[in-house]
Amino acid sequence: MFLKDDISHGYVPFPEKRAAFYKEQGCWENRTHFDLLKENADKFSDKVAVIQNEKQLTYQMLYEYAIHYGSYLKQKGIKETDFILVQSANVIEVFVVIFALYYIGARPVFCLDGHGSYEIENIAKQSRAVGYIRIVDQNNQKDARLITTQFKQPNFSLWFRQTIVSQNTFSESFSMLADIPKDFNLGAQATSTDIAFLQLSGGTTGLPKLIPRTHADYIYSVKESVIAAHLDDQIKQLIVLPVMHNFTMSSPGFLGVFYVGGTVVLSQQSHPRVCFEIIEKYKINQVSVVPAIANLWVNSESRSEYDCSSLDVIQVGGAKLLPTLAQKIVDIFDVKLQQVYGMAEGLVNFTSLDDSLEIILNTQGKKLSIYDEIRIVNHKDEIVELGRQGLIQTRGPYTINGYYNLPKINRRAFTEDGFYKTGDIGYLDNLGNIIVTGREKEQINRSGEKITPSEIEEFLLHHPVIKDVCVIGVEDQYLGERIKALIIPKQNDDQITLRDIRKFLINKNISNFKIPDEIEIVTDFQYTHVGKVNRQKL
Ligand code: OOB
């Protein structure tokens, strides 16, 4: 069943035939995210689900808080199927908020903590969200005030805005619940094939690309990821990447840990000392990072000061992991490495924990589901010979069929037979492992954060002394890629510094991670034979 309202707002459902097939094969189960939490509360009751510093939640507490906060949201006027923006640091309260929304059948729109009011406003417009919940860390309160005052209220029928400050205890964070009775009858759940939430595609621009994931397709990807990552109830996972990211949520992520009744421990920082201390203290056995963090950790002198011997698996994904760094991770941490190549649009690939070291170091592994279809094509969409490099396209039981509310972009991003054009370049070996070698899409991958160059260029063209600008990604030892702006000034003697540029962009309220790391003043760009700036050459 698909909601009429969603269809009229541009949700592209799975084609009937494929949907029937995935159901028949048992991929899609008839349960929602809230059903999962309810089952977990019954099964794992007093087991600790989440820890952040001195705070912790058992499965039963998480369930009850979610119902309590959901009752509060409902009283505030949030209705079933409403889209609510959720922006959060890596704090424990976020889990309560997400499951509270699922409880009342509302749908979170997952924003990144780093997003500024510019992005938040665009995401609100695109999703037609009727509310915004910002969860901040104690250290971060100034930033929260900034966002809520700068944010212009869009013209919606209801605009609910709320900031939860993560304080010492839950009752302080959720002090608004004091007078609200917990009402177990208030919940109005979605069905499993409804949109559960919207996630953002990498490089969110003025027109954010929103990814609608259904309960059934997402839970299926979690269930398969649990198998691929060999999770069981002994899992103690450190969360260091942003909680709202797809990798952190489902590959296997915290949902995978909840699925088996394990424990997640949150860190707000990726600094080696901070993370090593948590690993030692809680005997963490699994963590997922991007290559830039892995690089920081393997090169950290503080490594020998902490006992990280509890670590069994380090997962690395989100950006290309070079084999030399991969080898260092295995040697220095004495762990199993698991490479993960995935995308918020759906498809995820894992190396197997039982693969040979050769495969683990050099490939991004195999597709998660036997029903995933991956094809490598040339520019005419023709399938190339096995082992040949080309464009990666995919469709399957948990890959979307279109972005939300973007019919024009969908015509370019998906093929007629429903394959998503990932924009990545790579090849398959004869064992079915994928090797990602590059990308065609105009995107910078800075420590796993995706940036669209044209968006930054657009902003900079409004700078009073800039005549023309080209933003590119350049290789960086620590970040993978850093952002460089090549600038042609209006007058030869115009003075432009990196500080000016940063200040100018900060004033536009865009995410910090999109701000150039470097600038170069040039007199001209290099062009391709069709007159486009030759980014590759630059
Ligand atoms: C993950 O998701 P997104 O949506 O932030 O980014 C997806 C893009 C991919 O299309 C690819 O360009 C790049 O990030 N990427 C990789 C990679 N993993 C992602 N490029 C090379 N090697 C890898 N291992 O980044 C994401 C979602 C779920 C699980 C893991 C990562």
Residue 402 has what pLDDT? Answer: 97
Gap from CA of 126 to ligand 1 centroid (Å)? 23
Closest Cα to atom 16, ligand 1: which residue? 319
Closest Cα to atom 6, ligand 1: which residue? 343
Distance of alpha carbon 237 from alpha carbon 264, whole angstroms: 5
Residue 524 has what pLDDT? Answer: 86
* Domains 226-440 and 443-521 alike in fold: no
Gap from CA of 528 to ligand 1 centroid (Å)? 28
Pocket (CB within 6 angstroms of ligand 1)? 202, 246-247, 251, 317-320, 339-344, 348, 364, 422, 424, 436, 439, 445, 448, 450
- Residue ranges of the chain whose pLDDT lies below 50: none
Residue 163 has what pLDDT? Answer: 86
- Ligand 1 nearest atom to the CA of residue 288, by list position: 30
Distance of alpha carbon 302 from alpha carbon 282, whole angstroms: 18
Domain ranges in the chain are 31-214, 226-440, 443-521
Gap from CA of 478 to ligand 1 centroid (Å)? 17
Closest Cα to atom 12, ligand 1: which residue? 424
Residue 532 has what pLDDT? Answer: 65
Residue 197 has what pLDDT? Answer: 98
Q: Are 510 and 459 in contact (CB under 8 A)?
A: yes
- Ligand 1 nearest atom to the CA of residue 436, by list position: 21
Return the exposure string of 134-166: e unless at least 16 CB atoms fall within 10 Å of the residue's CB, then b. bbbbeebeeebeebeeebeeeeeeeebebebbb
Pocket test for ligand 1, best of 343, 351, 434 (most atoms within 8 A of CB): 343
pTM, to two decimals? 0.94
**Residues near 240 by beta carbon (within 8 Å), at least 6 away in sequence:** 90, 267, 269, 270, 275, 287, 288, 289, 293
Strand partners, 296: none
Gap from CA of 289 to ligand 1 centroid (Å)? 12
- Ligand 1 nearest atom to the CA of residue 201, by list position: 4
What token pair was written down for 100? 């509270």
Question: Do β-strands 444-446 and 449-451 pair in parallel, antiparallel, or remain unpaired?
Answer: antiparallel
Distance of alpha carbon 485 from alpha carbon 516, whole angstroms: 6
Pick the closest to residue 519 from 504, 532, 536, 534 (CA basis): 504
**Domain 31-214, CATH among 3.30.160.60, 3.40.50.150, 3.40.50.980, 3.40.50.620:** 3.40.50.980
Indicate the residue type of 447: S
User: Is 226-440 a CATH 3.40.50.12780 domain?
Assistant: yes
Gap from CA of 88 to ligand 1 centroid (Å)? 21
Gap from CA of 153 to ligand 1 centroid (Å)? 33
Q: Is the Cα torsion angle 82, 169, 48, 369 positive or negative in sign?
A: positive
Distance of alpha carbon 88 from alpha carbon 136, whole angstroms: 6
506: left (phi > 0), else alpha (psi -120 to 50), else beta?
alpha
Gap from CA of 527 to ligand 1 centroid (Å)? 29
Residue 157 has what pLDDT? Answer: 58
How many CB atoms are closer than 10 A to CB 283? Answer: 13
Q: Are 318 and 446 in contact (CB under 8 A)?
A: no
24: left (phi > 0), else alpha (psi -120 to 50), else beta?
alpha
CA dihedral 104, 88, 153, 513 (to 10 degrees): -140
Structural fold of domain 443-521:
GMP Synthetase; Chain A, domain 3 (3.30.300)
Return the exposure string of 222-243: e unless at least 16 CB atoms fall within 10 Å of the residue's CB, then b. bbbbbebbbbeeebbbbbbbbb
